[in-house]
Amino acid sequence: MKENVLKKKSFDFALRIVKLYQYLKEEKKEFIMSRQLMRSGTAVGAMVREAEFGESKADFAHKMAVAQKEINESLYWLELLYASEYLTNQ
């Protein structure tokens, strides 16, 4: 069976988001933005998995579009965390 690269990458992304959430919560004492990031970052993989078993091509396309929106939301929260200096490039 061929490996589903998108499924693997979305899972890896979600795992990194979970670890970042733990860091922000424990080390930086940041609870609001990190929770939003956690929600959107883990939703990506869930939507990709749901799309895999879509009832139709239209259902698949819709679920993948929702996954893309969650990625964009995750990027927003990451940018905001960098801009507010909870995260740095170091």
Closest CA to 67 of 55, 81, 54: 54
* Domain membership flag for residue 49: yes
Alpha-carbon span 32 to 71, nearest angstrom: 18
pLDDT (tens digit per residue) in 19-57: 999 999 999 999 999 999 999 999 999 999 999 999 999
Residue 42, Cβ neighbours under 10 Å: how many? 19
What three-state secondary structure class fits 77?
helix
Domain that holds residue 10: 5-83
What pLDDT was estimated at residue 2? 85
* Domain membership flag for residue 75: yes
> Structurally, how many domains does the chain consist of?
1
* Domain membership flag for residue 88: no
Question: Is residue 90 over pLDDT 80?
Answer: no
pTM across the whole model: 0.91
Its sign, for the CA torsion 53, 55, 60, 64, is: negative
CATH number at residue 28: 1.20.1440.60
